[in-house]
Copies of this chain bind each other. A is one copy, B any other.
């Protein structure tokens, strides 16, 4: 079993913001908290899905809410573990390992904090291979894992539990609770056996995120120089295709909190102002990139905005007018190209009236 120690956290945070495709929540405070947890409780065990007993009890944990709120409503070191404690009390069973909802920003780190404090391993993998805005879009849900019993804790220590018949209803209830509780909560949900996890997880994404972060760090510099090293690690991975699709300056960006999500659009002009700008549609994540009527990339494939000068990925809540950026597009894991997955993550699920065309065919 590998260990995650302090030396991995910078790379993990960096890589996970890349995979977050704009969402997942800001990792800065979660990273500080993870550091604090590792200093207090020691390195965190990273367990491969296939190493889990089939009857182990695993619960994914993470934050639910509008990422903008994560800049202001700061979590504390014991919240994630308290959520697991309360979940264990609620279901009357000890949790053997925690997993991530999504490999993306803060939500890659929350399970680490829980694992450190509780002294249990974290699964090397996640439920999206990226970040996506709704619970029914998780690979766990798509593969048939039930969302409830679920438990949520807000930052003031108020608690709620949910028992619903479908993940769609669960998503509505948990999102509404997140809004009522100030915009961001910590949630334990989609609990499952080791056997269920093995067939529903997007595997290896925590390790991959660390590797990706290292690549970004070692190749820090202008975006063009990043393409080759990124292709070197993406192409042989579960992701595949990796393209540099645009470079320019953010000339407009606006999001509002609608229904508990950050919803809006960013517009990026070429540095020389030539041609039509790139438009990016946002619902927590960057979901659709278009130039005029032409689709450049769409969900479930990954759209990533990085700082042009350094290659540092930029979350949607940090993206600002005037930012000089480069836009990468990366293929999604095959799991998300199956009919069962596309039923809940194709562009139409986000209100875009287009068919999904895999990145490499665009």
Contact = CB atoms under 8 A, between A and B. Distances in A.
A46 to B, nearest CB: 33
| Consensus secondary structure, chain A interface | mixed
A222 interface: no
A160 interface: yes
A76 interface: no
A2 interface: no
A159 B162 contact: yes
Interface stretch (A28-36, A168-176, A318-326): A168-176
Interface residues of A, number: 19
B177 A173 contact: yes
A318 B175 CA distance: 32
A74 B156 CA distance: 35
Nearest to A162: B160
B173 A160 contact: yes
Contacts of A158: 162-165, 169, 173
Contacts of A173: 158, 160, 177, 180-181
Nearest to A159: B163
A161 B160 contact: yes
A225 interface: no
Contacts of A165: 156-158
Contacts of A163: 158-160
B161 A172 contact: no
A55 to B, nearest CB: 25
14 contacts: A156-B165, A157-B165, A158-B163, A158-B165, A159-B164, A160-B161, A160-B162, A160-B177, A172-B180, A173-B180, A173-B181, A176-B176, A176-B180, A177-B180
